[in-house]
């Protein structure tokens, strides 16, 4: 899909012009309500829902078992970055703006909405064949299976908290290479797809935007939702990176190798505007992978900390401005220095805490 030309000076002051809000059926009214700002959203079909967007703490979903200690700490997939991230959040200067929640394992029935029951059973009983396990990239042990259900439950919980509070973030999630019948690329269950289908099937939301900024194309998500008009998928990734085969998202933006902050933000703004315009979502699931960073071991792009910060702030501020609940997952981030990787993930939480609290 070609990006529609949009005004060169898109910023928060002219979002209304950029999105042609009346034409697409968005209407916004702002009400003063003590310290809180309440946006009334009227979508077509109308949902008549108030989203409270500030005067709260940012809900954070985390579980100690996100770290799998049976996988060596020097494995290419940093399975122990999650507890490091949690420690950095607790020590951060915005720790008092966070409200912690612990998820339960995702119900198997919910997982089976996005995945073939036979594949789910193979994971839960650890009977995946060698070839299928190699495609995922680490051995499927009871701890890995348990963790996959927990991080999926975390994204499901974050989605529900975002609908209640306006925004929420999981300290894991973003397993976007997991497709309907198989896992791949360190991804076992597609937590975002499962969480989106959970809300859709319950008629809690009618339309979903999956906005995927992990440096790798969101092939599993694109495959799962290829024929589902309720979900709009957008992936901004490095075209020269894995996966080689990229099943089409509703909107794919493939950046050349070594694209920097300016090149990234040049495509981010119109891609987000176009995605919201087309999706008219009741909720956004944002994969905030930090692997576009220049120091990432698997990324091939050249973003700085400031570039990631500008990206995350733009997502958070746009969703807040438009009154669309935002659910963030951390996605990919790779490197030998696990604390440095966790510190890059911290940027997302700071951007959201400063935007929504
Ligand atoms: Zn990635």
Instruction: Convert the pLDDT of each residue in 87-139 to its tens digit.
Output: 999 999 999 999 999 999 999 999 999 999 999 999 999 999 999 999 999 88
- Predicted confidence (pLDDT) per residue in 281-302, tens digit: 999 999 999 999 999 999 999 9
- CB neighbours of 24 closer than 8 A, spacing ≥ 6? 277, 280
Catalytic residues: 177
Asked: is 52-356 a CATH 3.40.800.20 domain? The reply is yes
Distance 78 CA to ligand 1 centre (A): 12
Q: What pLDDT band is residue 60 in, cutting at 50, 70 and 90?
A: very high
Distance 332 CA to ligand 1 centre (A): 4
- Centroid of chain to Cα 223: 17
Distance 341 CA to ligand 1 centre (A): 13
Paired tokens of 213: 């900024």
Residue found under tokens 């019948």: 181
The pairing of strands 251-255 and 231-238 is parallel
Backbone angles phi and psi of 329, in degrees to 5: -125, 160
- Centroid of chain to Cα 252: 16
Distance 260 CA to ligand 1 centre (A): 17
Paired tokens of 11: 């910023």
- Predicted confidence (pLDDT) per residue in 22-49, tens digit: 223 232 222 222 222 223 333 333 333 4
Distance 136 CA to ligand 1 centre (A): 13
What are the extents of the domains in the chain?
52-356
Where residue 228 falls (left for φ over 0; alpha for ψ -120 to 50; beta otherwise) is: beta
pTM of this prediction?
A: 0.86
Element (H, E) at 222: helix 219-224
Q: What pLDDT band is residue 264 in, cutting at 50, 70 and 90?
A: very high
Q: Is there a contact between 56 and 356 (Cβ–Cβ < 8 Å)?
A: yes
């Amino acid at each position: 899909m070609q990006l529609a030309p949009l005004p060169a000076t898109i910023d928060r002051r002219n979002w209304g012009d950029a999105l042609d809000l009346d034409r697409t059926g968005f209407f916004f009214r702002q009400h003063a309500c003590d310290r809180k700002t309440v946006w009334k959203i009227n979508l077509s079909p109308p949902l008549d829902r108030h989203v409270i967007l500030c005067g709260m703490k940012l809900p954070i979903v985390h579980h100690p078992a996100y770290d799998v200690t049976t996988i060596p700490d020097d494995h290419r997939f940093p399975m122990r970055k999650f507890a490091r991230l949690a420690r950095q959040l607790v020590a951060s200067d915005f720790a008092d703006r966070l409200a912690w929640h612990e998820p339960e394992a995702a119900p198997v029935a919910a997982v089976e909405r996005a995945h073939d029951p036979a594949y789910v059973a193979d994971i839960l009983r650890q009977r995946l064949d060698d070839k299928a396990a190699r495609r995922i990239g680490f051995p499927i042990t009871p701890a890995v299976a348990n963790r996959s259900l927990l991080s999926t439950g975390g994204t499901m919980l974050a989605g529900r908290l975002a609908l209640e509070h306006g925004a929420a973030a999981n300290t894991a999630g973003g397993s976007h290479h997991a497709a309907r019948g198989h896992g791949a690329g360190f991804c076992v269950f597609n937590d975002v797809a499962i969480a989106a289908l959970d809300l859709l099937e319950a008629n809690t939301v009618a339309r979903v935007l999956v906005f995927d900024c992990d440096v790798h194309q969101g092939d599993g998500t694109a495959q799962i939702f290829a024929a589902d008009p309720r979900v709009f998928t957008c992936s901004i990734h490095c075209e020269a990176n894995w996966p080689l085969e990229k099943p089409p998202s509703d909107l794919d933006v493939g950046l050349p190798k070594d694209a920097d902050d300016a090149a990234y933000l040049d495509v981010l703004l119109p891609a987000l505007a176009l995605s919201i315009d087309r999706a008219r979502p009741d909720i956004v699931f944002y994969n905030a992978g930090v692997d576009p960073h220049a120091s990432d071991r698997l990324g091939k792009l050249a973003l700085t900390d400031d570039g990631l910060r500008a990206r995350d702030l733009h997502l958070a501020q746009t969703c807040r401005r438009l009154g669309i609940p935002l659910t963030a997952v951390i996605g990919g981030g790779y490197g030998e220095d696990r604390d440095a990787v966790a510190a890059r993930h911290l940027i997302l939480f700071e951007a959201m805490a400063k935007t929504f609290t």
